[in-house]
């Protein structure tokens, strides 16, 4: 790719640095790794990984974990009775290319004290937009597939009400999933930032926590686990309602990414691919990011939605 001649000596260092970085895939990969907040909610609730074939992924939905007939007593010398092992319903999802581009001009680079800061800003905005879209798709897929519910009113009422019992409600949701007898083991709770705030400030929850320790939210403002469930927060705009979700992240489903980067792309975490191109006549660079993926919900019974959590 052609590179414009450097500007005046006072700007040459900054201009040359950013140009070299944009032309080097390995430098771009390292820059992406520094964006430590580049984390998808989708990959935390749909943890399985599939490889697409021909642009699509084939999977089974709600595969039974038992045979279709009960075990019987066997007389001496008799053969054991055969029982069919049923398969789950077949599902097929097509991988989509979700991406966006932005233009970074030489002028924007030169007017920053450090040109790399401008690249970080552009990359962060593009990546955040891609992440928001993929998360919205994954959460919508879960909301569409999961039909089981637990009513918070049965266990004390809305979490922002006068008599909430958050821990009991979470335990009830876990029990509902376990009682399906499908081998599910709930390990994650998904909720909005607002419901998270209500949960961590709840008097009953706080009274059950250890006092005067640095992992208390009054000091760190963060709760990573509650009732042996990993806490995953998502912006309210990406969730269909104020409902809270309890799920088995290992069995609920996964993301089917098209593996392998095409020529010119660098692969970042969570399947994000990035590429840059010099637009010489525009004195600028085009930078774009994409993720070729589709969310797959394989075991809808591995999750339950807690309803009426907010008045």
What gap in Å lies between CA 215 and CA 223, rounded to an integer? Answer: 8
Percentage of the chain with pLDDT > 70? 78
Is residue 114 classed as helix, strand or coil in its secondary structure? coil
Cα angle 165, 169, 174 (rounded to 5 degrees) comes to 150
pLDDT tens digit sequence for 228-278? 999 999 888 888 888 999 999 999 999 998 876 688 888 776 788 888 888
pLDDT tens digit sequence for 210-225? 776 666 666 666 788 8
pLDDT value, residue 83: 79
Burial class of residue 100 (count of CB atoms within 10 Å of its CB; 0-12, 13-18, 19+):
middle
More confident residue, 120 or 130: 130
Q: What token pair was written down for 118?
A: 């401008």
Burial class of residue 41 (count of CB atoms within 10 Å of its CB; 0-12, 13-18, 19+):
buried
What gap in Å lies between CA 83 and CA 94, rounded to an integer? Answer: 34
pLDDT value, residue 148: 96
Average pLDDT of the chain to the nearest whole number: 82
pLDDT value, residue 72: 84
Q: How far is CA 128 from the centre of its chain?
A: 12
Asked if 257 contacts 292 with a C-beta cutoff of 8 angstroms, the reply is yes
pLDDT tens digit sequence for 140-193? 999 999 999 999 999 999 999 999 999 999 999 999 999 999 889 999 999 999
Give the lowest-confidence range in 2-11, 36-45, 287-296. Answer: 2-11
Cα angle 135, 182, 176 (rounded to 5 degrees) comes to 75
Give the contacts of 215 (CB within 8 A, at least 6 positions apart).
none
What residue spans define the domains of the chain?
A: 9-63+90-307
Q: What token pair was written down for 235?
A: 């912006």
Give the contacts of 243 (CB within 8 A, at least 6 positions apart).
305, 306, 307, 309
pLDDT value, residue 85: 73
Question: pTM for the complete prediction?
Answer: 0.78
Q: Which CATH class is domain 9-63+90-307?
A: alpha beta
127: nearest Cα among 32, 30, 20: 32
Q: Helix, strand, coil proportions of the chain in percent (round to 5)?
A: 35, 25, 40
Query: pLDDT band at 112, cuts 50/70/90?
Result: low
pLDDT value, residue 274: 87
In the predicted structure, residue 111 carries a pLDDT above the cut 70:
yes
Which residues, in sequence order, are bridge partners of residue 118? none
What gap in Å lies between CA 49 and CA 178, rounded to an integer? Answer: 24
pLDDT value, residue 294: 93
Query: pLDDT band at 282, cuts 50/70/90?
Result: very high
What gap in Å lies between CA 302 and CA 242, rounded to an integer? Answer: 20
In the predicted structure, residue 2 carries a pLDDT above the cut 80:
no
pLDDT value, residue 248: 97
Q: What token pair was written down for 257?
A: 């990414």
Query: pLDDT band at 12, cuts 50/70/90?
Result: very low
pLDDT tens digit sequence for 29-74? 655 655 545 568 999 999 998 877 678 887 777 676 667 778 888 8
pLDDT value, residue 113: 57
């Amino acid at each position: 790719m052609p590179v414009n001649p450097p500007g005046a000596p006072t700007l040459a260092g900054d201009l040359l640095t950013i140009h070299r970085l944009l032309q080097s895939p390995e430098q771009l990969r390292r820059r992406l790794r520094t964006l430590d907040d580049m984390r998808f909610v989708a990959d935390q609730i749909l943890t399985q990984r599939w490889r697409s074939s021909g642009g699509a992924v084939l999977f089974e939905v709600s595969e039974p974990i038992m045979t279709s007939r009960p075990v019987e007593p066997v007389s001496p010398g008799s053969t054991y009775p055969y029982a069919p092992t049923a398969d789950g319903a077949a599902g097929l999802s097509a991988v989509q290319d979700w991406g966006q581009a932005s233009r970074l001009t030489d002028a924007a680079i030169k007017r920053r004290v450090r040109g790399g800061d401008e690249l970080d800003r552009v990359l962060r905005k593009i990546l955040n937009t891609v992440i928001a879209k993929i998360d919205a798709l994954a959460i919508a897929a879960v909301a569409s597939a999961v039909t089981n519910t637990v009513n918070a009113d049965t266990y004390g009422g809305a979490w922002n009400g006068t008599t909430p019992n958050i821990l009991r409600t979470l335990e009830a949701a876990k029990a509902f999933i376990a009682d399906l007898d499908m081998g599910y083991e709930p390990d994650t709770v998904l909720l909005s930032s607002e419901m998270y705030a209500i949960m961590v400030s709840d008097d009953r929850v706080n009274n059950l926590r250890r006092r005067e320790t640095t992992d208390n939210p009054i000091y760190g403002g963060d709760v990573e686990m509650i009732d042996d469930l990993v806490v995953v927060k998502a912006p309210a705009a990406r969730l269909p309602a104020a409902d809270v979700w309890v799920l088995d992240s290992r069995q609920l489903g996964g993301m089917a990414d098209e593996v392998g980067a095409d020529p010119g792309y660098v692969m970042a975490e969570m399947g994000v691919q990035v590429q840059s191109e010099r637009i010489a006549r525009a004195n600028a660079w085009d930078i774009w990011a994409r993720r070729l993926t589709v969310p797959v919900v394989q075991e809808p019974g591995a999750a339950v939605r807690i309803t009426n959590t907010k008045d």
